Structure formats: structure tokens, C-alpha cells
């Protein structure tokens, strides 16, 4: 009897020690009050409650730990535990998710989430897992359009313009095909680049256009909605393994719930940002005849169809 007790005690001690309190570093590019930030706060709060304080996520906003390509490197190197990433730079690191960065893949968020919350999302989650990313939730990356310092009403107006893009192959190629000069810059440097006349245009969704203050410097919005994509809340596979099975369930559930929370906040914010931009004097031009743009982007579309890995996914989405 005595012997059994002694053999059990160290095991219990070891287990509780291995799964005692952990604090994870959570990367975020956005400022306080932004829907992504609010959702990450919601996530961290839920995790703390559900795990009775055993698991904590410390949130680093405003890309203070580095811009997104840097964060993805840190993530891969295990120097960061978790982050909320957009698809472009993530696709450069994990080419299998590139399918989601194809321009004009999804019509709108509803179309996107009907796929991402279904079979397509599952397949991509599996690919991300193989690359060391455990997906905790799919956030809304919104719908991206161009905005410029000078009026832009047709695809021709983009020709010869210096257009900021994030570090993402698909975005660079898209700008080249449209006749512009891609200027790759970190998100936080775009405002100064407009001010210092280093760029003529950028492209983003309404809440980012507003929250960054770009709306004050580039008032002409050309509503192409060329990119509707999700963003992803993920934790590294190695940090994930530090959690007990019970805490993994709690963290996963908190991630899923925070994504639903985010999507709701996002929809409201798109409208308030649009109103704020209008008030600020922004002018919105509709895309007009989409076929002109589609023709120019033809080589990029073909690339997606030729890559056998993505063929079925692209067809699946486009046929809906």
C-alpha cells in the first residue's frame, strides 16, 4: 500500500507541474478599440476564466513586436506563441494557404465564411497544422479596395501609380498587372509614406483605411473590393503542446467564440468607418465594368488554376 502511494505521488506532482500556469505572447497588428483587438481581448479573457487562470495570453498590440512578416518568422522560430495574421504574408510563409489570397475569389464575407467554416476551411486548417499553426479561429479580413491621393475612377487611373502593398506575392503581382508600381511597406509605415510622397495609393478595407488615418491623406477610394479574405488566429504547435487536453479544449472554444464576436463587431465597424471617411471628405467611385480589371488580372487567375494543389478549391468557390 505504502509503495503504491509513493509511486503515484511523483506522477501527480509531475503532471501538475508540467501543466501549471503558462503565459503566452499574442501578436496583434491593430490598435486598441479595433474589432480584432477587442476580439483578442475577449479571447484572452475567456481563456483565463475557463482555465481558472492556468493559461494566460498577453496581448501585444500595434505590432510592437515587429511587423507581420517578422511576426511570422518569430512564430516559426518559436519566439512568439500566438498571433492574428492576414493571409498575404502568411501565404508567403505557408504557400498552401495561397489560394485564399487570389483576388476576386470570394464575393463578400458571407460567401467567404460559408466556405471557411466548411470543407475548405478544414482542408486549410490541416495544411496549416502541418506547417506548425493550430488554427483557433477565422476572423474577418474585410473587403479591400484601392485608395489614392488623386482621383481614381477606372483601372486606367491606377496605371503608373506607386501603390503600397503588404509583403505578399499575390498583391505585388496584382499591382504589376494593373500597370502600377508595387511598393512593399509595413502597415505602420504607410501613413508617413503618403505624407512624404513616397506612394500614390494603397489598398485596404474600410476599418483600416479609417483607423490608420489614411483617409485623411488619400481621399479617392476606388471600390474594387478586389480582395475578400479571412484572417487567422493561430497558436504554434509547440505552445499548443504545453497545454493539458482539458485546457486545449478551453482555448480552442475561446478562439472559436472570439471569432464570432469579432465578425459581429466587424460588420458594425465597416459602416461607422465608411461614415467617418465620408465625413472626412472621402469620395467613393464604383468599380464600373469589372471585365476590364478581370482581363488585366487574367495571368494571375491562370496561375491559381494551373497550380494543381489549388485547382479544386478555386473551382469549388467560383462555382457557387
Q: Which residues bind ligand GTR (CB under 6 A)?
A: 29, 86, 141, 166, 187, 204-205, 208, 231
Strand bridging mode 55-60 / 22-27: parallel
Q: Residue 62, SS3?
A: coil
Which of residues 29 and 297 has its CB atom nearest to ligand GTR in the complex?
A: 29
Cell 473590393 belongs to 225
| Nearby residues of 13 by Cβ (< 8 Å), 6 or more positions away | none
CA distance 285 to 195: 23
Least CB distance from residue 8 to ligand GTR, whole Å? 49
CB closer to ligand GTR, 51 vs 86: 86
Q: How far is the CB of 231 from ligand GTR (least distance, A)?
A: 6
| Closer CB to ligand GTR, 55 or 158, in the complex | 158
Q: Which of 100, 42, 56 is nearest to 258 (CA)?
A: 42
Find out whether 201 and 165 touch, Cβ atoms under 8 Å: no
Cell output for 33? 478599440
- Shortest Å distance, C-beta 212 to ligand GTR: 9
Q: How far is the CB of 86 from ligand GTR (least distance, A)?
A: 3
Q: Exposed/middle/buried for 176, CB within 10 Å: 0-12, 13-18, 19+?
A: middle
User: Least distance (Å) from ligand GTR to the CB of residue 54?
Assistant: 29
Q: Which residue's CB is nearer to ligand GTR, number 122 or number 188?
A: 188
320, HSE (Cβ side, Cα atoms, 13 Å): 16
Rg, the chain, Cα only: 22
Is the Cβ of residue 95 or residue 288 nearer to ligand GTR in the bound state?
A: 95
Q: How many CB atoms lie within 10 A of CB 130?
A: 11
Q: How many CB atoms lie within 10 A of CB 318?
A: 15
Q: How far is the CB of 214 from ligand GTR (least distance, A)?
A: 10
| Beta carbon nearer to ligand GTR, 145 or 208 | 208
Query: Residue 116, Cβ neighbours under 10 Å: how many?
Result: 22
- CB nearer to ligand GTR: pick between 51 and 167: 167
Shortest approach of ligand GTR to residue 249 CB, angstroms?
Answer: 28
Backbone angles phi, psi at 118, to 5 degrees: -120, -145
CA atoms within 13 Å, Cβ hemisphere of 44: 20
Nearer to ligand GTR, 174 or 250 (CB): 174
CB of 102 to ligand GTR, least distance (A): 16
Nearest-angstrom CA–CA distance, 80 and 24 = 8
Amino acid at each position: 500500500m505504502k509503495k503504491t502511494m509513493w509511486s503515484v505521488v511523483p506522477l501527480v506532482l509531475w503532471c501538475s507541474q508540467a501543466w501549471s500556469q503558462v503565459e503566452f505572447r499574442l501578436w496583434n497588428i491593430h490598435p486598441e478599440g479595433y474589432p480584432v483587438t477587442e476580439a483578442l481581448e475577449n479571447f484572452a479573457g475567456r481563456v483565463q476564466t475557463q482555465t481558472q487562470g492556468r493559461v494566460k495570453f498577453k496581448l501585444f498590440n500595434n505590432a510592437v513586436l515587429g511587423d507581420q512578416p517578422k511576426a511570422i518568422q518569430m512564430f516559426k522560430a518559436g519566439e512568439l506563441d500566438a498571433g492574428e495574421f492576414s493571409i498575404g504574408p502568411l501565404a508567403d510563409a505557408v504557400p498552401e494557404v495561397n489560394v485564399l489570397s487570389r483576388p476576386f475569389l470570394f464575393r463578400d464575407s458571407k460567401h467567404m465564411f460559408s466556405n471557411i467554416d466548411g470543407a475548405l476551411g478544414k482542408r486549410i486548417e490541416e495544411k496549416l497544422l502541418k506547417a506548425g499553426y493550430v488554427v483557433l479561429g477565422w476572423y474577418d479580413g474585410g473587403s479591400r479596395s484601392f485608395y489614392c491621393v488623386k482621383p481614381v475612377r477606372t483601372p486606367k487611373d491606377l496605371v503608373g501609380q506607386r501603390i503600397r502593398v503588404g509583403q505578399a506575392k499575390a498583391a505585388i503581382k496584382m499591382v504589376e498587372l494593373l500597370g502600377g508600381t508595387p511598393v512593399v511597406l509595413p502597415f505602420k509605415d504607410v501613413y508617413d509614406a503618403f505624407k512624404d510622397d513616397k506612394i500614390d495609393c494603397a489598398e485596404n478595407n474600410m476599418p483600416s483605411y479609417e483607423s490608420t488615418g489614411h483617409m485623411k491623406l488619400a481621399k479617392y477610394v476606388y471600390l474594387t473590393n478586389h480582395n475578400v479574405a479571412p484572417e487567422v488566429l493561430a497558436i504554434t504547435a509547440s505552445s499548443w503542446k504545453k497545454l493539458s487536453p482539458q485546457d486545449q479544449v478551453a482555448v480552442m472554444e475561446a478562439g472559436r467564440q472570439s471569432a464570432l464576436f469579432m465578425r459581429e463587431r466587424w460588420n458594425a465597424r465597416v459602416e461607422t468607418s465608411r461614415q467617418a471617411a465620408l465625413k472626412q471628405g472621402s469620395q467613393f467611385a464604383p468599380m464600373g465594368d469589372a471585365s476590364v480589371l478581370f482581363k488585366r488580372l487574367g495571368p494571375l487567375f491562370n496561375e491559381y488554376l494551373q497550380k494543381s494543389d489549388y485547382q479544386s478549391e478555386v473551382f469549388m468557390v467560383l462555382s457557387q
